Amino acid sequence: MKYLNKIREALSGEDFPTFKIKDLKILLASYGANGGYAYTLLHNMASKGEIRRITRGIYTFHDDVRVAGFAFAPFYYGLEDALAIKGFWEQGANPVIITPRKTRTGPRVFNGRNYMVHRIDKRHFFGFELLKYGSFWIPVSDNEKTLIDFLYFRHYLRADVLHELRKASDPRKIKGYLKMYDARFSQKVLEMLKAHGK
């Protein structure tokens, strides 16, 4: 197809870590082609290994598992993954995607790499920043939200890592974030911080 190179270029750039069938249809229509050809084109590109399916209806030209998060937007990378990205965690960590979307949670695989999906209440979907990763900007939980999320999701955090994360966190910001949670949980976090000297 004469538009194939244009499609590759348009849907594989930094503005398109992932794409949907509707994106392909819109692009085809802009070139004067029949949007109905999108399904055949998707099938052909997938069978050649040129594109990969992340989840139902969402595809990518990229190989890096880091693009998987964009299939669950809005999202941010958090927990052990955030620690690894920011240098608090020396060992590698599989991507941990945190999203308020109604989606299947738990472990998944993309292009032979494992990643994890967690669902969070919309009220608690905040506290992340954009960090440069390759040619993309990815949302990653900030230090304070990472700390809170470890208790929220009941994940174990090693004492030495907790100590470093506490030192790099702003207590006032933590208290501000905790206003978005119920009193019982907030008290639990504050008691944990007090027990560890902050």
* Secondary structure class of 51 (helix, strand, coil): coil
Of 32, 60, 88, which closes a domain? 60
**Residues 47, 144 within the same domain:** no
**Residues 22, 84 within the same domain:** no
Of 12, 41, 60, which closes a domain? 60
pLDDT tens digit at each of 198 positions of the chain: 567 788 888 898 888 899 999 999 998 888 887 777 888 889 889 999 999 999 988 999 999 999 999 999 999 999 999 999 999 987 778 999 999 999 999 999 999 999 999 999 999 999 999 999 888 899 999 999 999 999 999 998 888 898 899 899 999 999 999 999 999 999 999 988 887 664
Neighbour tally for 197: CB within 10 Å: 8
What is the structure's pLDDT at 38? 87
**Residues 167, 185 within the same domain:** yes
The predicted model scores a pTM of 0.91
The CATH number of whichever domain residue 35 belongs to comes to 1.10.10
**Residues 183, 114 within the same domain:** yes
What is the structure's pLDDT at 90? 78
DSSP 3-23: THHHHHHHHSSTT-SSEEHHH
What is the structure's pLDDT at 40? 87
**Residues 92, 185 within the same domain:** yes
Residue 41's H or E segment, with its range, is helix 38-47
**Residues 94, 157 within the same domain:** yes
Please, what sign has the CA dihedral across residues 51, 137, 99, 19?
negative
**Residues 90, 23 within the same domain:** no
* Alpha-carbon torsion, ordered 103, 18, 111, 156, to 10 deg: -50
What is the structure's pLDDT at 7? 86
**Residues 144, 161 within the same domain:** yes
List the structure tokens of 140: 């990653």
Parent domain of 38: 4-60
**Residues 43, 71 within the same domain:** no
Interior/surface letters 97-131, b for 16+ CB within 10 angstroms, e for the rest:
bbbeeeeeeeebebeeeebbbbbbeeebbebbeee
**Residues 168, 73 within the same domain:** yes
Of 60, 86, 106, which closes a domain? 60
What is the structure's pLDDT at 175? 94
**Residue 10 to residue 118: CA distance in whole angstroms:** 30
**Residues 141, 121 within the same domain:** yes
| CA end-to-end distance (rounded Å), the chain | 62
**Residue 103 to residue 100: CA distance in whole angstroms:** 9
What is the structure's pLDDT at 157? 87
**Residues 89, 186 within the same domain:** yes
Q: Where are the beta strands (DSSP E) in 3-146?
A: 19-20, 52-55, 58-60, 76-77, 96-99, 106-110, 113-119, 128-133, 136-141
Number of domains the chain contains: 2
